Structure 1
Amino acid sequence: MLKIKDFLIIFVLLSFQTFMAQSIEVFGKVQSKLGVESIHVINKTAQVFTITNEKGEFTINVSINDSLVFSSIQHKLKEIVISKDDISNKAILVKLDEQINELDEVIVGKVLTGNLLEDIANIDGNPPINFFDVGIPGYTGKIATQSERRLSEAGEFKPKMLLGLLGGGVPLNPILNGISGRTKMLKNRVKIETKETLMNTIKARLSKDFFVSNPLDKGLRMDFFYFCADDENFIRSCKNKTDFEILAFLRRKYKQYLENLETGND
């Protein structure tokens, strides 16, 4: 007959085995100097996997002593073993190291000595030839977009052109395009393209600094710039303006945008 002491030992062992086999969902986060989105997280033991979100966060089912593997092109492969503390805390933090691919040294061209005059003398090559060098007239201004070229070809209709029809000295294209509305349509298209180009230029150049002091969810930032571009004063306020003037315009629109968001939520 089993003694009470033996019974307790068996009970503890069975409880421990049950605890060891228990699978729970844990929250994890990956840290790295590089991007932490879409990193593969593989539970080799349980044969389940997931990927991290844009913040490096993930959830996955694990048990004690399960092996988790973290895999990414940008990072070194890392494997960890789930401990009792990980199960108790239901959270793990993993730091990944950058994957550095060293290439063999390749020397392209001549080796520079650091002496400017000697290096210039040793460099072979001729400067590129342009149309001025061969006496051909050329255009050096801004290249027109397809819509701008079409608008130029369509011409602009003016009422006084109708008088010139009697003498046959006026091209029909501007008149026909004006009456049919094609010229107006092309003007609107050029205006939209101008807005789009200006908006993307401002976004690429100023968005990083702007959102440091004017926080906005990443999912709303593109919508915010379209909100700015829809303003009737957008081109006049931002085209050929200093960064200070553009930022002042963006701050005014930022306040309006937040007010619209609050009104929509209500």
Structure 2
Amino acid sequence: MPIVQKFIGLSFMLFTFFGFSQAVEISGVVNSLGDVENIHVLNKAEQAFTITNATGEFKIEAKLNDTIQFSSVQYQTKYVVVDHQVMLFKAMRVVLEEHVNQLDEVVVGKVLTGNLLSDIGNVDGKVPINFYDVGIPGYTGKKKTQSERRLSQAGDFKPKMIPGMLLGGGSFDPLINAITGRTKMLKARVDHEERDRLMRNIKARLASDFFRSNPLEEESRMDFFYYCADAPNFVKRCKNQTDFKILLFLRSKYRDYMKNRTEGNN
């Protein structure tokens, strides 16, 4: 083989080796029969984490032989190894299978035969009665917490209430509670409880995947989530938001949290 051909072949091999040994951005798409939004995509080797958008698309840093993990509540966890073809095209397509919990058959109560006359005598349960059955109006909305009920009872004073109070058509309780600071205290308590509930919900759903790409010792993780919950824009940024937007908020607070710890140690 001529020297020139050997050199070209060796150069190609070296180019391929070093090219594939570097991390590149992989564009991918997740396919499934169900919803493909908010699928967690993790490359632990590169400390890279992202989630899919509404159409299942994602982008993540990876190099040859890295293992990409795809996980979600409704799908079976899948691991995909980045091979030469993925590196060459910088793209991948992943098909996820739904996670089915199969339960053993359980018979509760008496067995019905299908014979109406015999089954009527075999059933001894009573049909529950609710307020609709007896024509009584009832509340079907979200149940209030104790603090929310107390705040509702305390009332929220407005200046326009004064004429009604003076004419005997309104209660003085909202005014008294405003003057004594009770309404303000109850509002602060309701806000605190809402932040705490939201924080614990986010922690239960996203903490495991978040800390894979944002390392933090176990004993400091709860402190980090309290730090996030104390942020003035916490509820606005996280309530009724997608996992992707919540993770963006957590990442921004993570940088601030780690910076504050470093400055505190110094």
- For residues 128 and 161 of structure 2, the distance between their equivalents in structure 1, rounded to whole angstroms, comes to 47
Find the counterpart in structure 2 of residue 200 from structure 1.
200
Note the alpha carbon deviations across 1:54-94, whole angstroms, 9 max, x for none: xxxxxxxxxxxxxxxxxxxxxxxxxxxxxxxxxxxxxxxxx
Matched position secondary structure for 1:257: helix
- For residues 258 and 215 of structure 2, the distance between their equivalents in structure 1, rounded to whole angstroms, comes to 11
Find the counterpart in structure 1 of residue 236 from structure 2.
236
- For residues 111 and 165 of structure 1, the distance between their equivalents in structure 2, rounded to whole angstroms, comes to 62
Find the counterpart in structure 1 of residue 16 from structure 2.
none
Kindly state the Cα deviation for residue 139 of structure 1 after the two structures are TM-superposed: 1.6
Find the counterpart in structure 2 of residue 172 from structure 1.
172
Find the counterpart in structure 1 of residue 217 from structure 2.
217
Kindly state the Cα deviation for residue 128 of structure 1 after the two structures are TM-superposed: 4.7
* Map 1:15-164 → 2, pairs under 5 A: 109=108, 128-164=128-164
Residues 1:261 and 2:243 are matched in the alignment: no
Q: TM-score, normalised by structure 2?
A: 0.52
Find the counterpart in structure 2 of residue 246 from structure 1.
246
Kindly state the Cα deviation for residue 173 of structure 1 after the two structures are TM-superposed: 0.4
* Residues 215 and 172 of structure 1, relative CA distance in 2, 3 Å threshold: same
Kindly state the Cα deviation for residue 176 of structure 1 after the two structures are TM-superposed: 0.7
Kindly state the Cα deviation for residue 129 of structure 1 after the two structures are TM-superposed: 4.2
Find the counterpart in structure 2 of residue 102 from structure 1.
none
* Residues 232 and 109 of structure 1, relative CA distance in 2, 3 Å threshold: closer
- For residues 230 and 108 of structure 1, the distance between their equivalents in structure 2, rounded to whole angstroms, comes to 49
Matched position secondary structure for 2:258: helix
Kindly state the Cα deviation for residue 108 of structure 1 after the two structures are TM-superposed: 5.8
- For residues 176 and 252 of structure 1, the distance between their equivalents in structure 2, rounded to whole angstroms, comes to 42
* Residues 134 and 222 of structure 1, relative CA distance in 2, 3 Å threshold: same
Kindly state the Cα deviation for residue 261 of structure 1 after the two structures are TM-superposed: 1.2
Matched position secondary structure for 1:160: helix
* Equivalent position amino acid for 2:193 in 1: E
* Residues 158 and 110 of structure 1, relative CA distance in 2, 3 Å threshold: closer
- For residues 241 and 136 of structure 1, the distance between their equivalents in structure 2, rounded to whole angstroms, comes to 37
* Residues 162 and 246 of structure 1, relative CA distance in 2, 3 Å threshold: same
- For residues 136 and 162 of structure 2, the distance between their equivalents in structure 1, rounded to whole angstroms, comes to 39
Note the alpha carbon deviations across 1:1-43, whole angstroms, 9 max, x for none: xxxxxxxxxxxxxxxxxxxxxxxxxxxxxxxxxxxxxxxxxxx
Kindly state the Cα deviation for residue 133 of structure 1 after the two structures are TM-superposed: 3.5
Note the alpha carbon deviations across 1:77-119, whole angstroms, 9 max, x for none: xxxxxxxxxxxxxxxxxxxxxxxxxxxxxx864799xxxx98x
- For residues 214 and 130 of structure 1, the distance between their equivalents in structure 2, rounded to whole angstroms, comes to 50
* Equivalent position amino acid for 1:236 in 2: K
Note the alpha carbon deviations across 1:191-250, whole angstroms, 9 max, x for none: 111111111111111111111111110000000000000100000001111111111111
- For residues 127 and 248 of structure 2, the distance between their equivalents in structure 1, rounded to whole angstroms, comes to 44
Bigger Cα Rg: 1
Instruction: Identify the structure with bigger relative contact order (alpha carbons < 8 Å, sequence gap 6+).
Output: 2
Aligned residues: 154
- For residues 251 and 165 of structure 1, the distance between their equivalents in structure 2, rounded to whole angstroms, comes to 50
Residue ranges of structure 2 left out of the alignment (5+ in a row): 1-105
Find the counterpart in structure 2 of residue 185 from structure 1.
185
* Residues 209 and 162 of structure 1, relative CA distance in 2, 3 Å threshold: same
Matched position secondary structure for 2:221: helix
* Residues 111 and 131 of structure 1, relative CA distance in 2, 3 Å threshold: closer
- For residues 110 and 157 of structure 1, the distance between their equivalents in structure 2, rounded to whole angstroms, comes to 55
* Residues 128 and 205 of structure 1, relative CA distance in 2, 3 Å threshold: farther
Kindly state the Cα deviation for residue 126 of structure 1 after the two structures are TM-superposed: 6.8
Matched position secondary structure for 1:211: helix
Matched position secondary structure for 1:216: coil
